Amino acid sequence: MNLLPGGICIYLSAAICWLTAEVDASWWYMGTLGSQVMCDNIPGLVNKQRQLCRQHPKVMQAIGAGMRDWISECQHQFRNHRWNCNTTAREHNLFGRLLLRSSREVAFMYAISSAGVVHTLARACSRGELDSCSCDPRKTGSSRDARGSFEWGGCSDHVEHAVRFSQGFVDAKERKGRDARALMNLHNNRAGRKAVKRFMTLECKCHGVSGSCSVRTCWLAMADFRRTGDQLRRRYNGAAQVSVNQYGTGFTAAHAHFKRPSGNDLVYLEDSPDYCVWDPESGSMGTGGRVCNRTSRGVDGCEVMCCGRGYDTSRVSRSTKCECKFHWCCAVRCSDCQQQVDVHTCKDQT
Ligand SMILES: *[C@@H]1O[C@H](CO)[C@@H](O)[C@H](O)[C@H]1NC(C)=O
Ligand SMILES: *[C@@H]1O[C@H](CO)[C@@H](O)[C@H](O)[C@H]1NC(C)=O
């Protein structure tokens, strides 16, 4: 698992900074520090965050553990892209530098991280891992949906609570500044949280004589985080370049013929680097050594991925399942076959 380097602290919200410190310092470290000491030692927290940190050490711990989920979701979404959300930097604070730029990728990072916090918290609440929250207490009694009436039962994810907490904690730093970048971060944080709420679904269990479903108990559940990741990835594709209006209160589209962004859209202020070559100043790791697809014409194709520098091909042997036979009853047994495949990797810049 790749972790964020410490340099991220200064630029990304202090919440995430704290998580970084925490993950770097490993678990036992947290156990040995009282919450007072721990929260006081995290660099970059604003007062409000320090307060929340002291009041809710277990919540902080949960958020820290959930970090790897949204980072790996980010890496999944961008696995075939020149920028691949790779947080293992050759230079320690490369990610920090990336975050200096108000680019589309950074917009995505903020959105998915704040979505991740909501998802993690709501799940921890439902599992009874936190003292401060549990299932949504308002989901009791009976209600109706398109199929008729049902009884609330089971555990509905308390997303409202998770959103409120994440708003209070993650956004606290941005609320202190009212510059363009703070507005951008706030907007994308909010868009991320919305992308979790959007995929709440009603799940039901049927009761009644021989499954007649005359009685249903239902609960409201969050979808798999992949759904949120997919949604934010679409928002990334359609992200709007904006500038701040003359009152400093909102955005106007950077290009006259574009529509104004809605609350679900991601917004960014600056163009991205092309991420072709290693350039610490712009937060680009370059694509040298990245695997590409020789036949694809898309972003994963060698032409695009390698930025015209060409690629090297090596033949590697892969083990695959083959000659699978069905055995009565009921197993499928396969042999291991060795297969030769060509792997193409982008040439480094010279
Ligand atoms: C991420 O970057 C590191 C260091 O440059 C590299 O070793 C690793 O293979 C990269 N991972 C991916 C998934 O690109
Ligand atoms: C490479 O791209 C082609 C065309 O888009 C696709 O059919 C193929 O599955 C890809 N190969 C791999 C290994 O992803």
HEC per residue, the chain: CCCCCCCHHHHCCHHHHHHHHHHHHCHHHHHHCCHHHHHHCCCCCCHHHHHHHHHCHHHHHHHHHHHHHHHHHHHHHCCCCCCCCCCCCCCCCHHHHHHHCCCHHHHHHHHHHHHHHHHHHHHHHHCCCCCCCCCCCCCCCEEEECCEEEEECCCCCCHHHHHHHHHHHHCHHHHHCCCHHHHHHHHHHHHHHHHHHCCEEEEEEEECHHHCCCEEEEEEEECCHHHHHHHHHHHHHCCEEEEECCCCCCEEECCCCCCCCCCCCCEECCCCCCCCCEEHHHCEECCCCCEEECCCCCCCEHHHHCCCCCEEEEEEEEEEEEEEEEECCCEEEEEEEEEEEEEEEECCCC
The confidence band for 61, taking pLDDT boundaries of 50, 70 and 90, is confident
Among the bound ligands, the one closest to the CA of 92: 1
Q: Which of 293, 294, 302 to mutate to test the pocket of ligand 2 (most atoms within 8 A of CB)?
A: 293
Indicate whether 176 pLDDT > 90: no
Among the bound ligands, the one closest to the CA of 296: 2
CATH 3.30.2460.20 fits 287-350, yes or no: yes
Q: How far is the CA of 210 from the centre of ligand 1 (A)?
A: 55
Among the bound ligands, the one closest to the CA of 292: 2
- Read off the pLDDT of each residue in 213-241 and give the average, rounded to a whole number: 94
Of 69-78, 163-172, 224-233, which has the strongest mean pLDDT?
A: 224-233
- pLDDT for res 316: 93
- pLDDT for res 190: 96
Is the model more confident about 225 or about 211? 225
The confidence band for 43, taking pLDDT boundaries of 50, 70 and 90, is low
Among the bound ligands, the one closest to the CA of 287: 1
Residue pair 191/266 in contact (Cβ under 8 Å)? The answer is yes
- pLDDT for res 65: 77
- Read off the pLDDT of each residue in 219-232 and give the average, rounded to a whole number: 96
User: Would you state the structure tokens that stand for residue 252, as one six-digit string?
Assistant: 């106007």
79 CA closest ligand 1 atom index? 13
Q: How far is the CA of 88 from the centre of ligand 1 (A)?
A: 6
Residue pair 235/266 in contact (Cβ under 8 Å)? The answer is yes
Is the model more confident about 57 or about 225? 225
Nearest CA to ligand 1 atom 10: 86
The pTM for the full model equals 0.84
Q: How far is the CA of 99 from the centre of ligand 2 (A)?
A: 32
Indicate whether 324 pLDDT > 60: yes
Pocket around ligand 1: residues whose beta carbon is below 6 Å from it? 84, 86, 88, 90, 285
- pLDDT for res 42: 64
- pLDDT for res 60: 82
- Read off the pLDDT of each residue in 179-184 and give the average, rounded to a whole number: 90
Indicate whether 38 pLDDT > 70: no
Is the model more confident about 20 or about 309? 309
Indicate whether 241 pLDDT > 90: yes
- Read off the pLDDT of each residue in 226-251 and give the average, rounded to a whole number: 92
Q: How far is the CA of 154 from the centre of ligand 2 (A)?
A: 43
- pLDDT for res 285: 85
Domain ranges in the chain are: 5-275, 287-350
Q: How far is the CA of 89 from the centre of ligand 1 (A)?
A: 8
Indicate whether 94 pLDDT > 70: no
- pLDDT for res 22: 38
Is the model more confident about 84 or about 255? 84
- pLDDT for res 87: 64
- pLDDT for res 256: 74
- pLDDT for res 293: 96
Nearest CA to ligand 2 atom 4: 296
Among the bound ligands, the one closest to the CA of 304: 2
The confidence band for 341, taking pLDDT boundaries of 50, 70 and 90, is very high
Nearest CA to ligand 2 atom 11: 293
- pLDDT for res 310: 95
- pLDDT for res 44: 62
The confidence band for 12, taking pLDDT boundaries of 50, 70 and 90, is very low
**Among the listed ranges 26-40, 103-117, 147-161, 316-330, which one has the minimum average pLDDT value?**
26-40
Is the model more confident about 226 or about 56? 226
Indicate whether 223 pLDDT > 90: yes
294 CA closest ligand 2 atom index? 1
Pocket around ligand 2: residues whose beta carbon is below 6 Å from it? 293, 295-296
- Read off the pLDDT of each residue in 88-115 and give the average, rounded to a whole number: 75
Indicate whether 175 pLDDT > 50: yes
- pLDDT for res 4: 38
Average pLDDT, the chain: 83
**Among the listed ranges 28-42, 141-155, 279-293, which one has the minimum average pLDDT value?**
28-42
Q: How far is the CA of 289 from the centre of ligand 2 (A)?
A: 18
297 CA closest ligand 2 atom index? 5
